[in-house]
Chain A
């Protein structure tokens, strides 16, 4: 199994649909992340689950809803999205300690989302 897997790899949905993105990490890490990657923009951190606490970017619309049932799985639930939400959604994981500082994050291949 590769380190971080994401399904589906491609998703096309209408604005009224509800769908979910799934991420699974096989690295034994204790932190997981969702990022949005749009063309010509820096990667945007959407949500972090670290040591079982959730941290979110307050600018993320409520139509994106994360779920982290355990340290290996992360979901991003999508509902009533807008065309501007079309982007590559990347999941990442890392092993975080209590002393602060950041260890490298390992990324999945991403889900290419198109909202019609």
Chain B
């Protein structure tokens, strides 16, 4: 079974709209880490955020915000007032303490922001 599910394969929004990218994970560990990465057309994955399982506080960084809910095993990512430069593939990933170096990535969500 896939440990990280990103059900949205592709999303298109018009510039300045808000968009939420969904991430659902599966783990039996009590201690784990969740990540979001951005992959622009250049190919390099860019780290956005790391969150541990004990910190459910939502986080905001500029136009980006993350909603972590353990009750639903979700770690969703919202971009407010989207811009063309936000067009990329976004990956959610899970790492469990017992396999500290192993990242489980989702299949990614391709976001296109239309000017």
Which residues of A come within 8 Å of B, CB atoms? 31, 33, 40-43, 45, 48, 50, 55, 88, 90, 92, 94, 96, 100-110, 112
Contacts and interface: CB of A to CB of B under 8 A. Distances in A.
A48 B106 CA distance: 19
Given A107-B44, A108-B44, A109-B42, A102 B107 contact: no
Contact of B105 (A42, A103, A112): A42
B97 A104 contact: no
B6 to A, nearest CB: 9
Interface residues of B, number: 27
B4 A101 contact: no
Interface stretch (B13-21, B45-53, B58-66, B73-81): B45-53
Contacts of B101: 31, 33, 48, 50, 55, 94, 96, 102
Contact of B107 (A42, A55, A110, A112): A42
B44 A109 contact: yes
A41 B107 contact: yes
Kindly name the residue among A55, A94, A102, A107 whose own CB sees the greatest number of chain B CB atoms within 10 A: A102
Given A92-B45, A101-B33, 8 more contacts: A42-B107, A42-B108, A48-B101, A55-B101, A101-B52, A101-B95, A107-B44, A112-B43
B100 interface: yes
A110 B98 contact: no
Contacts of A45: 102-103
A41 B91 CA distance: 11
B12 interface: no
